[in-house]
Amino acid sequence: MLENIASPTRQLLQHPYALHSPTTPGRTRTKGMKLIVGSPGTWSSMALRVSQCVFAAASLCTMATAFGNSNYSAFAYMITTLILQLSWSLVLACVDIFSIRNKKDIHNRALVTIIVLGDWITAVLVFTGASASASVTILFTRDVNFCRVYSQLACGQFVLSIVLAFILWLLDAASSFSGFWLLVSFL
């Protein structure tokens, strides 16, 4: 039955993961590489990176437009880490788009190592920024009641920005772990 089907279609039918792998016709995979969801140069990686950009931009805009954010160093630190995360995710989304569009395999040890290290660094920075901002916000809302006393303080925006930053951190952790898993497959 497979003899009557055209060559590219036959190759797709014979390879069980062909529709989701970087080994579709026109691509070659590095020897020893494992097929991992979220690895650089795949559709899942691009979806993760675009989602990271969206959540970083949303959290950044929410925190930057909140009244009183410049008075507290935890909020300034979170804004800085969100800018770094947005830049990192945007660059890697462009790399993924380039790789997918030109059917290039970007799975080599040096590039994957740089991506994994960058992902882990940005994930730690975003987590520390969100945690520091969350602690200041809890202090304002529950302990000293700044939000009730100073109604012009945008505590609702602080909370929303922090929730978006933690969702961003979860997405960043997912891409970090998939990259780490890919890096381990080189060994």
* 87, containing H or E segment: helix 73-102
Name the DSSP letter for residue 25: T
The answer for residues whose C-beta is within 8 angstroms of residue 13's C-beta and 6 or more apart is 2, 5
Q: What is the pLDDT along the chain (187 residues), one digit of tens a residue?
A: 545 555 444 443 444 433 444 444 444 454 555 668 888 888 999 999 999 999 999 999 999 998 888 888 999 999 999 999 999 999 999 999 999 999 888 888 899 899 999 999 999 999 999 999 999 999 988 888 888 888 788 888 999 999 999 999 999 999 999 888 888 887 7
